[in-house]
Structure 1
Amino acid sequence: MKEHFNIDEKLILLSQEVLEELKEEFAEIEKIEEYNQYKIIKAMAKNELSDYCLLESTGYGYNDIGREAVEKIFSYVFKSEDALVRPQIISGTHALSLCLFGILRPGDELLSVTGEPYDTLKNVIEGEGLGSLKDYNIKFSKIELKHGKADFESIKNSINEKTKMVLIQRSRGYSLRPSLSISEIEELIGFIKGLNKEIICMVDNCYGEFVEEKEPIEVGADLCAGSLIKNPGGGIVPTGGYIVGKKNLIELCSYRLFAPGIGKNCGPSIIPNRIILQGLFYAPMVVSEAKKGALFTAKMFESLGFEVFPKKEEKRSDIVTALLLKNKEILIEFCRGLQKVGPVDSHVTPEPWDMPGYDHQVIMAGGSFIQGASIELSADAPIREPYAVYVQGGLSFYHVKLGILCALQNLINKKLIKLP
């Protein structure tokens, strides 16, 4: 590391001390990886996956048995009645939009019980003249978390006869609030269903898949959605998204993706089904590497006096670590240092830019094999106070370790931080 990337000896020694402290936590991560790996192997065996299911299809995609196998396997893994897993779903935001527009109707209300939705979902919900939920007279309200926990009293007072769907965002998004554990999601859904069992509970599962042994459908969620260029794609799926949940709701979402009355019956596998299934097979291992990297990132920055979310000792329910840098220059130079070890575009210098779907300029770093794949090592941040950067992903722990050390070395070289 010192020879190829010119990392200060003191920084390397600090990283070795940190790794010694993380041995027990790494062992716990590996136990969850093992459990989830067996679960996926069982899903593929149970559904009799064959080599002729691994090809792509063309045109309308009628009678695509490989696509059907993919969705049966996802249903088994996520313990759902049905699944919609398609390359035509381009992002997590797209998958969530299909759920919202597929199910909600004019006069209905959507209630977010985890506060402000992720930035790219705001225009979907409340954008002016964009074909948003607001344009279709679908109401929206939100309840902020209280001390990082669900505010049950406010939820009880806010649910009314118009409330058709509750949105639960598992990960922190661009905020410093904690991600929700599966046990917290279970408690929250149980409370909501106790008030009105007809309310549809939808979980934004982005960044959370295979971080724990259970998934949201197993604890009562009606719908759960995410992206295949995050955790469940294992770092090799080039595009796509998934929705899992109750069969009647999945059908409505499929009508929104394709056309009413056609839905799941069409849609060619424009990438080989092999890639989606092999990515799913790799996912527990890759998520494990990313979790180890997230712990290392948190502990390294804590050692240097920075505030991090979550802290090393706190339970994790996603692969994101927020670093509170409190300084615009430090934030930008952190991203530039991380970019230097990207396997792709390491020569590029990240700059803040007006990214579609965001209210503030955003700076991003990563150099991933798949554009925007945040299961690969990446960092991004809105250019706004308190200047927090969100680090996620890592196909290999050693890549995360190197990336963090190079980012810190860049800050040292720029005289923005000092080693103790």
Structure 2
Amino acid sequence: MDVPELSPILSDYYQVSPGLLGLAEQVERGLGEVFARIDRLTRVNQARVMRAFSRHQVATGHLVGSTGYGYHDLGREKSGRVFADVFGTEAALVSPHFLSGTHALSACLWGVLRPGDTLLSLTGAPYGTLEGVIGLRAAGGSLAEFGVKYRQVELDAPASAVEEALYETPRLVYLQRSSGYSHRPPLTLGELGRLIARVRVTCPGTIIMVDNCYGELVQAVEPGHLGAHLVAGSLIKNPGGGLADGGGYVAGSTALVEAVAEKLSAPGQGSRVGAAPGGYRGILQGLFVSPGVVGGALKGAALAAGLFGALGFATSPGPLDERSDIIQAIHLQSAKAMRAFCRGIQKASPVDAQATPIPSEVPGYGHPVIMAGGTFVQGASIELSADGPFAEPFTVYLQGGLTYHHVYCAVLIAANELLLAGCLG
């Protein structure tokens, strides 16, 4: 039986222009080598994850939950071993009690920094939600209030600036893989490896921490394999595969992971407590499928870059570029275009498709943000979503997608909204 055409569904129900449908097909045909490279990466990462599950003998009993204090929770212990294997570290703490990626990162900072210590970022300003944690923006109980000093060096700063900052021997060096809402490119693994090596040589006693959000399984190695001491991220991003309901992870040396665990629970209790009544099935199954989900998101990002580039918008990365995270920046240049784009992504969402995104204040951000994404898990950015500061240059950040084919349809609908709004030349 012949496979029916896609165009009647998109053109009849979503009113997508035939010209845009044809353009998307043309762009996709030009991405053959890119998609083949992503497929090879996906197979390697799937094999790595599969090997970790086998090495650590995950069994049915590790999927179930615990109650009360969560003593001897086999699922918690097994999840930690599997994540540590995948992320190239000695140990890992995987917990639904991390409320977000920011919470996991905050627990790392509070777990190892003490009054008088210096926190040094070598990748410029951190993601907006960490500004309050550090004390760059007014927030009660920041690290600054407790006497932790902060310094930052831009990613493109000369080597002399980096050496000068390291000369002061900071207690912790913070490296952020993704660019957040800044306009710098994401940190490549090559750049990350060189920075880690430089810090290790110059300041052998300094802790190197990597914010891994949006970067997991985008390459065949992780920051732990490159020598990072602490790596942290969110389970509703890449490693949760769209199946984890929440939570986060911290991976690193055994001593440092335990120090973070004692900040998450209490000194003296650490990683030995913490019940998970819902169990670990979603977390472990999510990790298992995450290489394929991330691969689909990477393909979707490349398609979006190609499609909107062909429509005249600047995109970063470009469609043929190698990627360091799952985020695709599209510089829309006007408020009208940004509203239209987000409206289209929302229309293509499986949940709350009838909603209309509007700019609003969001906890942890210092400016209005517009967000589109009807996700099964609230705020999950491994599911397809788009967001950005509602201010010049009106750059929207597209990320995720549980399947490539959903992203394909969604970016067409978003492009069509721009057409209907008169934003295409």
Mark yes or no: TM-score above 0.5: yes
Give the structure 2 partner of residue 254 of structure 1. Answer: 261
* DSSP-derived class of the 2:151 partner: strand
Distance 1:99 1:13 in 2: 48
Give the structure 2 partner of residue 79 of structure 1. Answer: 88
Distance 1:139 1:270 in 2: 39
In 1, are the aligned partners of 2:134 and 2:150 still within 8 Å (CA)?
yes
Q: CA deviation at 1:67?
A: 1.1
Give the structure 2 partner of residue 131 of structure 1. Answer: 141
Q: CA deviation at 1:365?
A: 0.2
Distance 1:187 1:314 in 2: 20
* DSSP-derived class of the 1:5 partner: coil
Q: CA deviation at 1:270?
A: 3.1
Q: Aligned pair 1:230/2:243, yes or no?
A: no
Give the structure 1 partner of residue 128 of structure 2. Answer: 119
Report the AA paired with residue 28 of structure 1.
Answer: R
Q: CA deviation at 1:249?
A: 0.5
4+ aligned runs moved over 6 Å, structure 1: none
Distance 2:277 2:204 in 1: 38
Give the structure 2 partner of residue 106 of structure 1. Answer: 115
Alignment of 1:187-336 (within 5 A): 187-336=194-343
Distance 1:338 1:54 in 2: 34
Distance 1:207 1:371 in 2: 16
User: How high is the TM-score relative to the length of structure 1?
Assistant: 0.97
In 2, are the aligned partners of 1:128 and 1:134 still within 8 Å (CA)?
no
Distance 2:299 2:330 in 1: 16
Q: CA deviation at 1:220?
A: 0.9
Distance 1:354 1:37 in 2: 39
Distance 1:363 1:128 in 2: 22
Give the structure 1 partner of residue 24 of structure 2. Answer: 15
Distance 2:243 2:365 in 1: 27
In 2, are the aligned partners of 1:129 and 1:135 still within 8 Å (CA)?
no
Distance 2:421 2:359 in 1: 18
Gaps of 5+ in 1: none
Give the structure 1 partner of residue 154 of structure 2. Answer: 144
Q: CA deviation at 1:272?
A: 1.6
Give the structure 1 partner of residue 46 of structure 2. Answer: 37
Distance 1:294 1:321 in 2: 6
1:276-316 deviations in Å (ceiling 9; x for gaps): 10000010000000000000011111111111111122221
> Are residues 65 and 215 of structure 1, via their aligned partners in 2, closer, same or farther at CA, if it must alter by over 3 Å?
same
Report the AA paired with residue 172 of structure 2.
Answer: M
* DSSP-derived class of the 2:171 partner: strand
Distance 1:384 1:260 in 2: 43
1:387-406 deviations in Å (ceiling 9; x for gaps): 11100000011111111111
Distance 2:320 2:159 in 1: 26
User: How high is the TM-score relative to the length of structure 2?
Assistant: 0.96
Query: Once superposed, what is the RMSD of the aligned Cα atoms?
Result: 1.0
Give the structure 1 partner of residue 6 of structure 2. Answer: none
1:83-119 deviations in Å (ceiling 9; x for gaps): 0100000111001000000000000000110001101
Q: CA deviation at 1:362?
A: 0.5
Report the AA paired with residue 250 of structure 1.
Answer: V
1:126-175 deviations in Å (ceiling 9; x for gaps): 143510111111000111122xxx64321101124451101100011011
Distance 2:208 2:227 in 1: 8
Q: CA deviation at 1:384?
A: 1.8
Q: CA deviation at 1:414?
A: 1.3
Q: Aligned pair 1:61/2:70, yes or no?
A: yes
Q: Aligned pair 1:89/2:107, yes or no?
A: no
Report the AA paired with residue 356 of structure 1.
Answer: P
> Are residues 13 and 129 of structure 1, via their aligned partners in 2, closer, same or farther at CA, if it must alter by over 3 Å?
closer
> Are residues 333 and 198 of structure 1, via their aligned partners in 2, closer, same or farther at CA, if it must alter by over 3 Å?
same
Distance 1:109 1:215 in 2: 25
* DSSP-derived class of the 1:391 partner: strand
Distance 2:195 2:159 in 1: 8
Distance 2:27 2:418 in 1: 19
In 2, are the aligned partners of 1:128 and 1:135 still within 8 Å (CA)?
no
Distance 1:222 1:89 in 2: 19
Report the AA paired with residue 130 of structure 1.
Answer: G
Distance 2:99 2:201 in 1: 35
Q: Aligned pair 1:395/2:402, yes or no?
A: yes
Q: Which moved more, 1:301-310 or 1:121-130?
A: 121-130
In 1, are the aligned partners of 2:357 and 2:372 still within 8 Å (CA)?
yes
In 2, are the aligned partners of 1:60 and 1:266 still within 8 Å (CA)?
yes
In 2, are the aligned partners of 1:61 and 1:268 still within 8 Å (CA)?
yes
Determine what percentage of the aligned residue pairs are the same residue.
45
Distance 1:354 1:162 in 2: 38
Distance 1:387 1:415 in 2: 16
Distance 2:319 2:28 in 1: 12
Gaps of 5+ in 2: 1-9
